[in-house]
């Protein structure tokens, strides 16, 4: 799947792709800005394609010879929120995965997210499930079932429990005063339960059912801020799509 395109020279593009066999790769697509037909619509969002790539000796860039769309979700383009959520998932994969390290589970996760968006529409809980699955695949899953400081399980739902994004998880009320990083947030027991429930869904699409509880809207907002704060800390800079989604929430 396409992660990013960058104009190069007069008519070329540098494309960043996430592939099943090679992970994240960058390639030069010659003439891509002049001839859309050559790559048959495969250099856009909301598609998964078969890319013919050729390595270039002693060069960082591959060469993209051709591409053919295998699956597409272009109908989602009519829903700006769905496009924003898909773009957020793509940005996370682009920023959190290393170059040229095969991670077929990540590609499968991206495809599953697009399928879920097509089936259920945009959903905050769907994004939380995607975030948790992606963090697990890359080895950075947050600790939700025990305190990150003392390892205790019996006190993580007591008043005073916090989520520490810098240390990657829940700190019980006894250990919370020792948390000194930025972005530390109180985590009520109901919000932690929501996090755990979203993590345990069988498929990403199933997570959308957790949007239906009107009384849990505050917990969903807390969890969103916890996970986004942790992800931004891992990446080291703000995410553009997060800012865009926040503007959509402010002006639905």
As annotated, the residues of the chain forming the CATH 1.20.1440.120 domain(s) are 82-252
Within 73-139, strands assigned E span none
The full length of the chain comes to 252
Q: Is the pLDDT of residue 247 over 70?
A: yes
- Angle between helix axes 80-96 and 240-250 (nearest 10 degrees) is 150
Question: How confident is the model over 146-169, as a mean pLDDT?
Answer: 96
pLDDT of residue 58: 76
**What CATH number labels 82-252?**
1.20.1440.120
As annotated, the residues of the chain forming the CATH 2.40.50.140 domain(s) are 1-72
Nearest to 106 by CA among 118, 123, 94, 122: 94
What CATH class has 1-72?
mainly beta
34-82 pLDDT tens trace: 876 778 889 999 999 999 999 877 778 999 999 999 999 999 999 999 9
pLDDT of residue 36: 67
Q: 18: Cβ–Cβ under 8 A, 6 or more apart, which residues?
A: 1, 3, 24, 93, 94, 97, 106, 107, 110
Residue 198 pLDDT grade (very low, low, confident, very high; cuts 50, 70, 90) = very high
* Prediction pTM value: 0.95
pLDDT of residue 40: 80
Question: How confident is the model over 183-204, as a mean pLDDT?
Answer: 97
By the 10 Å C-beta count (0-12 exposed, 13-18 middle, 19+ buried), 172 is classed as buried
Q: Higher confidence at residue 214 or residue 87?
A: 87
pLDDT of residue 252: 66
Of 57-66, 150-159, 190-199, minimum mean pLDDT range: 57-66
Handedness of CA 19, 21, 23, 29 (dihedral sign): negative
Residue 2 pLDDT grade (very low, low, confident, very high; cuts 50, 70, 90) = very high
Count other Cβ atoms within 10 Å, centred on residue 239: 18
Q: How far apart are CA 189 and CA 169, in angstroms?
A: 14
Query: What is the DSSP secondary structure assignment for residue 211, as one 8-state letter?
Result: G
Q: Higher confidence at residue 200 or residue 214?
A: 200
Side-chain-facing half-sphere of 198: CA atoms under 13 Å: 28
> What are the helix and strand counts (H, E) for the chain?
6, 8
The H or E element spanning position 233 is: helix 217-235
The H or E element spanning position 109 is: helix 104-120
Q: Is the pLDDT of residue 188 over 90?
A: yes
pLDDT of residue 3: 98
pLDDT of residue 60: 85
């Amino acid at each position: 799947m396409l992660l990013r395109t960058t104009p190069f020279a007069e008519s070329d593009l540098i494309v960043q792709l996430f592939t099943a066999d090679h992970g994240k790769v960058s390639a030069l697509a010659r003439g891509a800005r002049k001839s859309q037909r050559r790559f048959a619509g495969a250099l856009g969002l909301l598609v998964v394609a078969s890319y013919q790539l050729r390595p270039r000796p002693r060069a960082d860039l591959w060469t993209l010879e051709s591409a053919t769309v295998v699956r597409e979700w272009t109908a989602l383009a009519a829903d700006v929120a769905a496009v924003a959520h898909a773009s957020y998932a793509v940005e996370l994969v682009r920023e959190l995965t290393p170059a040229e390290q095969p991670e077929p589970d990540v590609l499968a996760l991206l495809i599953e997210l697009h399928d879920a968006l097509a089936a259920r529409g945009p959903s905050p809980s769907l994004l939380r499930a995607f975030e948790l699955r992606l963090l697990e695949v890359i080895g950075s899953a947050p600790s939700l079932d025990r305190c990150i400081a003392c390892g205790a399980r019996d006190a993580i739902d007591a008043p005073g429990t916090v989520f520490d994004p810098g240390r990657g998880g829940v700190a019980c009320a006894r250990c919370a005063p020792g948390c000194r990083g930025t972005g530390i947030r109180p985590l009520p027991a109901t919000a932690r339960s929501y996090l755990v429930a979203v993590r345990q869904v069988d498929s990403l699409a199933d997570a959308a059912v957790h949007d239906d509880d009107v009384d849990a809207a505050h917990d969903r907002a807390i969890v969103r801020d916890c996970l986004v704060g942790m992800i931004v800390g891992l990446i080291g800079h703000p995410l553009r799509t997060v800012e865009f989604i926040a503007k959509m929430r402010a002006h639905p």
